[in-house]
């Protein structure tokens, strides 16, 4: 998958987007295409690492990270992840608590994934 700048649509491969941080036009990189994701495909995912690996696999298909993605996710998300079920009636709602990582900050999710990706 290619990534594009949020400003002038400058394209980049995953590796360039990860290591540069921002595009040369000052924009942020985002996937060039947002794939359709069927929630039912994730219903029986056993744990957060497996869910993350499956979800991120859609975005990093055919990139330099594809073969190492399982290892990256295992390294980055090697802490307990708490998900609260807030479902009411027929409405399934979950809340992911982002303060259970090593530094008790939401950045444990994104920054650790970025660091693990950069080390591969």
43 with 56, same domain: the answer is yes
Q: Give me the domain span that covers residue 26.
A: 1-34
Calculate the average pLDDT of the chain.
90
pTM metric for this prediction:
0.81
Assess whether 66 and 13 both reside in one domain: no
Do 42 and 78 fall into the same domain?
Answer: yes
Select from 28, 20, 24 the least CA-distant residue to 4: 28
Q: Closest Cα to residue 98, out of 116, 119, 84?
A: 84
Query: What's the rounded Cα separation, in Å, for the pair 16 and 3?
Result: 9
Predicted confidence (pLDDT) per residue in 67-101, tens digit = 999 999 999 999 988 888 888 888 888 888 999 89
Domain count, the chain: 2
Are both 112 and 58 inside the same structural domain?
A: yes
Residues 51 and 14 in one domain: no
User: Are both 59 and 29 inside the same structural domain?
Assistant: no
Q: Which residues pair with 82 in a beta bridge?
A: 97
User: Does residue 92 sit in the same domain as residue 70?
Assistant: yes
CA dist., res. 45 & res. 68, Å (int): 20
Residues of the chain scoring pLDDT < 70:
44-45
For 4, half-sphere exposure in the C-beta direction (CA atoms, 13 angstrom radius) is 8
Same domain, yes or no: 68 and 105: yes
60 shares its domain with 110: yes
- pLDDT for 44 equals 67
Residues 65 and 12 reside in one and the same domain: no
């Amino acid at each position: 998958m290619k990534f594009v700048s949020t400003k002038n649509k400058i394209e980049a491969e995953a590796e360039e987007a990860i290591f540069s941080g921002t595009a040369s036009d000052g924009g942020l990189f985002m996937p060039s295409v947002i794939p359709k994701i069927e929630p039912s495909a994730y219903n029986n995912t056993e744990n957060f690492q497996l869910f993350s690996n499956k979800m991120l696999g859609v975005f990093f298909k055919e990139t330099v990270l594809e073969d190492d993605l399982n290892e990256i996710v295992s390294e980055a998300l090697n802490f307990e992840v708490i998900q609260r079920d807030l479902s009411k009636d027929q409405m399934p709602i979950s809340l992911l608590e982002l303060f259970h990582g090593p530094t008790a900050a939401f950045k444990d999710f994104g920054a650790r994934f970025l660091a693990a990706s950069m080390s591969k």
